[in-house]
Amino acid sequence: MGSTIDAANKGVNGTASAKKPTVIFVLGGPGSGKGTQCAYIVEHFGYTHLSAGDLLRAEIKSGSENGTMIQNMIKEGKIVPSEVTIKLLQKAIQDNGNDKFLIDGFPRNEENRAAFEKVTEIEPKFVLFFDCPEEEMERRLLGRNQGREDDNIETIRKRFKVFLESSLPVIQYYEAKGKVRKIHAAKPIEDVFQEVKAVFTPEAEKVKHNTCVIL
């Protein structure tokens, strides 16, 4: 019996699917509010939200051989190989039936990015980057996770540091290709979504809404 990884090898880019799906990478530091905004995008624009972390956790929970390997790597503090995460994303895209996806929290670094494009032969339509000052993200996380050991100030700052060192090169790569849509994420949720909506509303529709017809 083939594993999830083997099944994905038929791939998003294989004979099973002639048309490549639309993929948008969603990046932002911890506490930037990207999860909340992804839920809004799904509701208003019909995308499917895929979280790399959720897929890894689901694979572990499944008890598969692959899941056990992932669990052991995480326990040992090792980074799960890009290919493993990419194959899970590929399989989720393939099995879903939708043709447009938000990939949340991935790629986490340059190596992830290059591997994703090589394995899937898909380039993202654009990268939605939730840009939020560190002080604001810190305030939100501390407010949201009162009493949680893993969200103390020291751990939070380590997570910020990892995000800056790993993910910013990915953002810079796509910025050079004109593919980054930066969202000012420090504002209230509804105001942030107005900015997000402007990114997702097709130009033609914007014109239609803004045109005044005089009879």
The DSSP output letter for 210 is H
159 labelled binding-site residue: yes
Residues 6+ apart with CB under 8 A from 43: none
105 labelled binding-site residue: yes
Tens-digit pLDDT profile for residues 99-141: 999 999 899 899 999 999 999 999 999 999 999 988 898 888 8
pLDDT score of 150: 54
113 labelled binding-site residue: no
Mean pLDDT check: name the lowest of 83-97, 152-166, 177-191.
Answer: 152-166
> How far apart, in whole angstroms, are the C-alpha atoms of residue 80 and residue 70?
6
**Two tokens, residue 45:** 């624009």
**Two tokens, residue 67:** 């899941």
- CB contact at 8 A, 90 and 4: no
Q: What is the mean pLDDT of the chain?
A: 84
80 labelled binding-site residue: yes
116 labelled binding-site residue: no
- pTM > 0.85: yes or no: no
What's the number of CA atoms in the CB half-sphere (13 Å) around residue 215? 0
79 labelled binding-site residue: yes
Percent of the chain at pLDDT exceeding 90: 58
107 labelled binding-site residue: yes
9 labelled binding-site residue: no
Mean pLDDT check: name the lowest of 21-25, 64-68, 74-78, 170-174.
Answer: 74-78
Q: Which amino acid is located at 213 in the chain?
A: V
181 labelled binding-site residue: no
pLDDT score of 205: 61
34 labelled binding-site residue: yes
> How far apart, in whole angstroms, are the C-alpha atoms of residue 133 and residue 144?
17
* Residue 37 in this model has a pLDDT that exceeds 60: yes
Strands 48-51 and 126-131, how do they pair?
Answer: unpaired
33 labelled binding-site residue: yes
pLDDT band at 213 (very low <50, low <70, confident <90, very high): very low
